[in-house]
Amino acid sequence: MAVHLRGDEALEYKEKVFGEIGFGSPVSELQRFGTFEYDDVEEVLFSDQWPGIEIGGEGACDLAGNQKQSVTSFKVFQPIG
């Protein structure tokens, strides 16, 4: 993880999921790594192939609704079970 402090103390995270997808990347690039579904309650994309990873996109909608959205958030967690 790379976190950089600037004069205004803003943080910048530069790591990438799958070594390629980071903040601002097109969400549609996830499709190269498996089938991602949209959870309209949590407003994130997830995949049964990649448990423990949730990705948020600009506009928070299914990829079918907006192919041009970009990555705005990541959640990485220990799956239960």
CA distance 54 to 21: 13
CA distance 63 to 45: 9
The residue ranking higher by pLDDT, 3 or 28, is 28
Check whether 6 has a pLDDT greater than 90: no
Strands 37-39 and 71-76: unpaired
Work out the mean pLDDT of the chain and round it to a whole number. 81
Q: For position 11, what pLDDT does the model report?
A: 57
Q: For position 5, what pLDDT does the model report?
A: 46
Check whether 46 has a pLDDT greater than 90: yes
